[in-house]
């Protein structure tokens, strides 16, 4: 049985990035930058006012106060988007708004709230320091400054900085297309009545969302009955239509577990089977021509954990991501936790706003109540026993 690290290394070794494409920024969220993207212009592009108010010479209003208003002649108005050739001369002002280019001659903006209008004049009721309420050219981002590096995720913040500096599109890694197959005679589509002995199928909807979060494109396939022929046909179709197939169920040692046999019959080559983790021991990774099979266990939490630890990194590497692992955050244990087994256990925990991690409930590989309550996985070594109050690292699958 492989260790998790050995299994991850085998998956990484098999997968090479898929190439890139140019997309509009509006559809760039979560994509991986395929090149460094830089600011096309200085941001701001020109010195401008940070307030609605009056551009002045700070020395003219040095002694201004409620008790000692200083009258300035208002020579012009510059709205945002306009440009004025007027110059602020001694004891004069120009009306400006947030974002108005700074008029020549002025070295500060008095905010409107500190003024009183008086016809052609304005009375200034407070002093301003030189350059107060002025935003300088390039103080935010300099032209040529890197906003996102090749291999980094396009966050919404990075997208907005790119747009503000003039980009309309960006080159990103291509998205892997993944066919999603769930095997099992007992499975029934949610939203339809259950026959005796049937259960609702939940793995495809769970995995489709995790695949989308990881930047991939999921194609859910119809449910696959537990026969060799049906499994073969579904695998062949999935592999021909997608870059990879994820199956759930049918990879264990039961007589009705057909995924490995069907994959081999259609010419697939199994790379490894079984990883020393809990939940998720039965996991198949294999190659068919230039495509891949990730055979996940049927139990929903096993499928969840093996996806996050073994498939998600592959989807990220495919897109050229530098960071392929889950986000790791320190927390303090609120419960004592013991792993009496000899496999590494990924324990569902709920981390609260203060960073205290508590057990999310029953930790069996089929129990979804604890998965629903959890927001992180605690990586618990074999035979480890942790006390309440100990510092631990928790893996998080959510972006924030």
- Residues found near ligand AMP in the complex (CB under 6 A): 182, 184, 186-187, 199, 201-203, 248-250, 252, 254, 297-300
Q: Which span (62-70, 131-139, 176-184, 265-273) binds Mg ion, by CB under 5 A? A: 176-184
Q: Which is nearer to ligand AMP, 24 or 369 (CB)?
A: 369
Q: In the complex, what is the shortest distance from the CB of residue 179 to ligand AMP, in angstroms, rounded to a whole number?
A: 14
Closest approach, Cβ 299 to ligand AMP, in A, equals 4
> Are 378 and 347 contacting, i.e. CB atoms less than 8 angstroms apart?
yes
Interface of this chain with Mg ion, residues 283 to 342, rule: CB under 5 A: 298
User: Angle at Cα 68 formed by Cα 116 and Cα 64, nearest 5°?
Assistant: 75
Pick between residue 49 and residue 231 the one whose CB is nearest to Mg ion.
231
216: partner contacted, choices ligand AMP, Mg ion, none (Cβ within 5-8 A by kind):
none
Q: Which residues pair with 378 in a beta bridge?
A: 347, 394
Q: Which of 101, 151, 238, 249 binds Mg ion (CB under 5 A)?
A: 249
CB of 237 to ligand AMP, least distance (A): 18
Backbone φ and ψ for 128, nearest 5 degrees, come out as: -130, 150
Q: 167-186 burial by CB neighbour count: b if 16+ within 10 A, else e?
A: beebbbbbbbebbbbbbbee
178 in Cβ contact with 211 (< 8 Å): yes
Q: How far apart are CA 134 and CA 118, in angstroms?
A: 24
Q: Which residues are bridge partners to 38 per DSSP?
A: 146
| Residue whose CB is nearest to Mg ion in the complex, by number | 249
Nearer to Mg ion, 114 or 257 (CB): 257
Give the nearest distance from C-beta 298 to Mg ion in angstroms.
Answer: 5
Cβ distance to ligand AMP smaller for residue 283 or 318: 283
Q: Closest CB to ligand AMP among 101 and 250?
A: 250
- Binding-site partner at residue 252 among ligand AMP, Mg ion, none, CB < 5 to 8 Å by type: ligand AMP
- How far apart CA 381 and CA 204 sit, in angstroms, is 29
359 SS3 class: strand
CB-neighbour burial class of residue 121 (10 A; exposed 0-12, middle 13-18, buried 19+)? middle
In the complex with ligand AMP, the residue whose CB is nearer, 205 or 356, is 205
């Amino acid at each position: 049985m492989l260790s998790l690290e050995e299994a991850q290394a085998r998956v990484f070794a098999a997968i090479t990035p898929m190439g890139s494409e140019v997309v509009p920024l509006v559809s760039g969220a979560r994509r991986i930058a395929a090149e460094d993207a830089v600011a096309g212009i200085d941001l701001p592009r020109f010195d401008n006012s940070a307030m609605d108010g009056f551009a002045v010479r700070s020395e003219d209003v040095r002694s201004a106060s409620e008790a000692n208003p200083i009258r300035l002649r208002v020579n012009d108005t510059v709205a945002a988007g306009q440009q004025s050739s007027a110059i602020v001369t001694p004891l004069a002002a120009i009306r400006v708004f947030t974002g108005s280019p700074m008029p020549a001659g002025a070295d500060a903006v008095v905010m409107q709230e500190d003024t009183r209008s008086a016809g052609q004049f304005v009375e200034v009721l407070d002093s301003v320091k030189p350059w107060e309420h002025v935003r300088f050219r390039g103080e935010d981002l300099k032209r040529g400054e890197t906003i996102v590096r090749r291999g980094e995720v396009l966050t919404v913040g990075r997208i907005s900085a790119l747009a503000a500096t003039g980009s309309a599109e960006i080159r990103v890694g291509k998205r892997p297309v993944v066919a999603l197959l769930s095997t099992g005679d007992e499975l029934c589509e949610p939203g339809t009545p259950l026959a005796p002995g049937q259960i609702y199928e939940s793995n495809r909807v769970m995995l489709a969302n995790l695949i989308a979060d990881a930047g991939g494109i999921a194609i859910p396939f119809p449910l696959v009955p537990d026969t060799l022929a049906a499994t073969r046909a579904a695998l062949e179709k999935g592999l021909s239509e997608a870059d990879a197939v994820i199956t759930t169920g049918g990879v264990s040692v039961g007589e009705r577990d057909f995924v490995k046999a069907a994959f081999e019959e259609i010419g697939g080559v199994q790379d490894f089977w079984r990883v020393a983790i809990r939940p998720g021991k039965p996991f198949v990774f294999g190659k068919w021509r230039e495509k891949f099979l990730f055979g996940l266990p049927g139990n929903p939490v096993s499928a969840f954990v093996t996806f996050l630890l073994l498939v998600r990194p592959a989807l990220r590497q495919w897109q050229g991501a530098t960071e392929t692992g889950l986000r790791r955050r320190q927390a303090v244990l609120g419960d004592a936790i013991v792993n009496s087994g000899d496999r590494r256990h990924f324990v569902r925990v709920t981390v609260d706003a203060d960073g205290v991690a508590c057990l999310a409930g029953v930790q069996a590989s089929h129990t979804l109540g604890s998965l629903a309550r959890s927001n992180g996985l605690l990586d618990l070594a074999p035979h480890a026993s942790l006390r309440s109050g100990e510092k631990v690292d928790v893996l998080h699958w959510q972006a924030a």
